[in-house]
Every structure is written in C-alpha cells, then in structure tokens.
C-alpha cells in the first residue's frame, strides 16, 4: 500500500512538471523576480508569422535579452498590451513596430534596421533610444511623436540628416546622433526646437555645418567633436543665447579661419569659463578664396591671431586678399569692356535706324514717281487712246533706272 502511494506521488509530480513545461512554451516568464521593477525575459526565439498562443507576463516594464525575432510586428505588440516601457538588448530584432501607447523604447545591440512609426500622431512616447544598431536614417514619421523628449540614435549607420524631420517636436530636449556616418546635415527651412537643450554630432564625417536656420533658445550643450569640419558657417550668438558648453575638438579646421572664429567665441559671456585655442587646426587645410569671400574674410583678418606662426598666417591672409583684389580688378575690367561693347551696339543701332529712315524716304519718292507717271500718261494721250507698246517699255525702263540709282545711293 505504501509502495503504491509512493508510485502515485511520483507520477503526479511528473505530470505536474510536464504540464508546467508545456505551459512555459506559451506563457513567457520573467527570468528575475516577477515583482521587480523590470521583468527580464532571456533567449526568446519568435517567428512573427506563427505566434500560436504566445502570451507575455502582465507587466509594465519588460526587457528582452538575446531575443531572436524576425519582425516585432503589430501582432507581437498586441500580446504585450500591458507594456509601457520596452527594452531590447543584444540578440537580433531587425524591424520593430512601435506600440501606440508605449512611453519608452530602448533598443541596443540588436541589429535593428528600422523602427516603424504609424501615420497618426501619438502623445505617449517620451524616450526613443535606438543605439548600436543598423539604422540608415532617422525613422520615418518621427515628427508624429509629439511628446518625445529624448531622441538617441547614436552608433548607427545614418549618413544624411534633414533636420526638418524633427519639425514640430516642441518638447524635444535631447538629440544624440553621435558615432554615425553623417556627411551631410541640412535644414532646408527653419530648425526651430524651443526646448532643445543638448545636441550631439560627435564622431561623424561632416565637412561643414551651416547654423543659419537654427533657432534653439534653450540649447546649453552643443558637441561636434571628431568630424572632418574645415569651417563653420553662420555660428551666431543670437541663435544660441543659452549655450554654455561648446565642443569642436579634433576636426580639420583651416588655421586662418580658426583664428578669427576662436577669438569670436572667447567674447561670448556665457562661454567665459572656456578658453578656445586657435591652435586646434590643420595648417595643411586651406579653404578656397570663394569660401573665404562667403565667410567674410575681412572680419577674420581684423581678429587677433594668437598663434606661434602669426607672421606666416598674416602673410597668407595678405596674399589671399591680394588675389581677391586682383580678381576684383579683373571683374572691373570685364565690366568696362561690356560697357564699351554696349555703346558700340547702340551706335550701330542708331546707324541702322538712320538707314531705315532713308529707305522709307526712297520708297515714298518711288510712290510719288509712280503717281507722276500716271498723271503724265493721262495728260499726254488723248482720251480713249492707248500708249504705244514701245513708249510704254521705254517709260518702264526709265522708272527702273531711277529706282536702281536710288537703291545704289542707299547702299553706299
């Protein structure tokens, strides 16, 4: 009896374990303590086309570690209806559909190529951080995330950035695009973000930046270190009234331009705790004369050049200005030549007008001669009689001779 009871107990335990294992196939469990702040699920392998009866824990903050998911689809999102904060790290999740009521999405080191944002505006998501992945552009429709405060897309493969894509994100405070492959940054219209405080573009491939369209009254930190910048255009104090921290080391600045730029920065009161050195430049990099004219070289020359080779730099500036003066004189010479040619054309036009007047006068005389011939014919011949054929031919010949002589005089 005791032996039978022991067997029944072992069978019961085995059945319970089998049922428990079967249940885990459908209901994902937290690898850590369920009541912790974040529920971590490790090693999830998922085929979006065959979800079966998959269910996620009822938890507001879920972390997927080493997940293998071909597509984090809307159907997968529906199984996470309680989640407001989602973290995906390591593993491989190529495409992620953004859950409408998500407040925070953090994806790192997951080979993610794209984040799919819906067409309708949402006022839930506050933090979007897709780092150390394979994004090639800012996610489409990012401007629909009206409550977004943090956008971190650092360490991806982004090459071109149109800042107009961030238009309308009035609560955006932090943008980090560091460690991408950005070589072109543009703002076609106005780049106006009223609450932007931090903007980072470190470790990219930028060769120039134009800040003319920027309106960022609260920006306190701007970092553009370790690019390939040769110069910066329209960096005006009125565009950055709150700027306190500015970093642009490790670029390829032209030393002649750099001297004037650092002198300007050292006059900004809000940056008075920083000492910008003109020596952070490359003597081998030289901008073209056209670029210098665009950057107003006369202003740069008037600034103090506190470099060791000041005389050499001053000589280079003088040579460049002499070249500019020569080009100006050449332009003046061309202008004078055009003026002379214009005057010659006007004289020729006047002559042609005079000749046309002469021709008009001759045509009028011919008409008068023709009328005179008619009158002579009428007076010389009796009524009802015709002009003899020989006389008519002679008169015609005389008229042609008069016209020919007049035309020859005009040509002369």
**How far, in whole angstroms, is CA 412 from its chain's centroid?**
65
Residue pair 164/187 in contact by the 8 Å Cβ criterion: yes
What is the rounded end-to-end Cα distance, in angstroms, of the chain?
A: 147
Integer Cα distance of 92 and 52 in angstroms: 21
226 belongs to a structural domain:
yes
Query: What's the gap between Cα 358 and its chain centre?
Result: 63
Counted domains in the chain: 1
Task: Confirm whether 237 is domain-assigned.
Answer: yes
Q: Which domain holds residue 81?
A: 29-266
Asked if the structure places residue 194 within a domain, the reply is: yes
- Give pLDDT, residue 341: 83
Q: Please state, in angstroms and rounded to a whole number, the distance separating the CA atoms of residues 26 and 268.
A: 62
Query: Can you give the pLDDT at residue 85?
Result: 95
Cα–Cα distance list, 93 to 16, 131, 133, 141 (Å): 34, 13, 10, 20
> Could you tell me how far CA 1 lies from the centroid of its own chain?
85
Q: Is residue 365 part of a domain?
A: no
| All residues at 6 or more sequence positions from 61 whose CB lies less than 8 Å from its CB, including other chains | 37, 38, 39, 83, 84, 85, 87
Torsion of CA 112, 115, 116, 121, to 10 degrees: 170
Contact 195, 213 (CB under 8 A): no
Q: Could you tell me the CA-to-CA distances from 398 to 373, 391, 395, 402 in Å, in that order?
A: 11, 11, 5, 6
Confirm whether 5 is domain-assigned: no
Residue 182 lies in a domain: yes
Q: How many other CB atoms are found less than 10 A from the CB of residue 32?
A: 14
pLDDT tens sequence for the chain (412 residues): 445 544 444 444 444 444 443 333 346 788 877 677 889 999 999 887 878 778 888 889 999 999 999 999 998 888 888 899 999 999 999 999 999 899 999 999 999 999 999 988 888 999 999 999 999 999 999 999 999 999 999 999 999 999 999 988 999 999 999 999 999 998 777 789 999 999 999 999 999 899 988 999 999 999 999 999 999 988 988 889 999 999 999 999 988 888 888 888 888 888 866 767 667 788 888 887 677 666 754 455 444 444 455 565 566 666 666 666 666 777 877 788 888 888 888 888 888 888 888 887 777 777 777 777 777 766 655 555 555 666 666 666 766 676 666 666 555 5
pLDDT of residue 13: 43
Rounded CA-CA distance 45/43 in Å is: 6
Residue 177's CATH number: 3.80.10.10
Burial 204-217 (b: 16+ CB within 10 A, else e): bebeebebebbebe
* In a domain? residue 127: yes
Position 301 in a domain = no
**3-state SS track over the chain:** CHHHHHHHHHHHHHHHHHHHHHHHHHECCCCCCCCCCCEEEECCEECCCCCCCCECCCCCEEEEECCEECCECHHHHHCCCCCCEEEEECCEECEEECCCCCCEEEEECCCCCEEECCCCCECCCCEEEEECCCCCCCCCCHHHECCCCEEECCCCCCCEEEHHHHCCCCCCCEEECCCCCCCEEECCCCEECCCCCEEECCCCCCCEEECCCEECCCCCEEECCCCCCCEEECCCHHHCCCCCEEECCCCCCEHHHHHHHHHHHCCCHHHCCCCCCCCCCECCCCCCHHHHHHCCHHHHHHCCCCCCCHHHHHHHHHHHHHHHHHHHHHHHHHHHHHHHHHHHHHHHHHHHHHHHHHHHHHHHHHHHHHHHHHHHHHHHCCCCCCCCHHHHHHHHHHHHHHHHHHHHHHHC
The reported pTM is 0.66
> Is the CB of residue 167 less than 8 Å from the CB of residue 189?
yes
């Amino acid at each position: 009896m005791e032996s039978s009871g022991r067997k029944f107990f072992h069978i019961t335990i085995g059945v319970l374990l089998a049922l428990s294992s079967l249940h885990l196939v459908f209901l994902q469990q937290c690898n850590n303590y369920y009541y912790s702040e974040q529920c971590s699920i490790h090693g999830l392998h998922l085929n979006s086309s065959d979800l079966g009866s998959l269910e996620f824990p009822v938890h507001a903050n879920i972390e997927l570690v080493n997940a293998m998911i071909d597509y984090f689809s809307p159907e997968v999102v529906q199984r996470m209806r309680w989640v407001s904060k989602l973290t995906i790290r390591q593993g491989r999740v190529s495409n992620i559909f953004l859950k409408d009521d998500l407040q925070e999405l953090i994806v790192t080191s997951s080979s993610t190529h794209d984040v799919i944002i819906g067409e309708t505006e949402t006022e839930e998501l506050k933090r979007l951080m897709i780092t150390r992945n394979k994004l090639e552009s800012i996610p489409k429709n990012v401007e629909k995330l009206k409550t977004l405060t943090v956008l971190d897309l650092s360490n991806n493969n982004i090459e071109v950035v149109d800042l107009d894509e961030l238009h309308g994100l009035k609560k955006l405070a932090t943008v980090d695009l560091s460690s991408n492959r950005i070589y072109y940054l543009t703002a076609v219209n106005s780049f106006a973000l009223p609450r932007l405080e931090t903007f980072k573009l470190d470790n990219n491939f930028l060769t120039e930046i134009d800040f003319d369209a920027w309106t960022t009254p609260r920006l306190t930190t701007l970092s553009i270190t370790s690019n390939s910048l040769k110069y910066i255009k329209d960096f005006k104090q009125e565009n950055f009234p709150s700027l306190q921290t500015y970093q642009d080391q490790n670029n390829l600045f032209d030393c002649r331009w750099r001297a004037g730029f650092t002198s300007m920065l050292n006059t900004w009161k809000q940056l008075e705790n920083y000492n910008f050195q003109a020596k952070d430049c490359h003597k081998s990099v030289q901008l073209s004369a056209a670029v210098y004219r665009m950057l107003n070289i006369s202003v740069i020359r008037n600034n103090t050049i506190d470099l060791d080779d000041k005389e050499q730099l001053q000589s280079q500036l003088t040579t460049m200005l002499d070249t500019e003066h020569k080009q100006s004189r050449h332009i003046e010479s061309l202008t004078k030549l055009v003026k002379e040619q214009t005057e010659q054309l006007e004289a020729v036009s006047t002559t042609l007008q005079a000749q046309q007047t002469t021709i008009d006068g001759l045509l009028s005389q011919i008409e008068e001669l023709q009328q005179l011939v008619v009158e002579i014919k009428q007076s010389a011949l009796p009524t009802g009689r015709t002009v003899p054929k020989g006389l008519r031919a002679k008169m015609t010949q005389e008229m042609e001779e008069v016209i020919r002589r007049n035309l020859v005089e005009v040509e002369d």
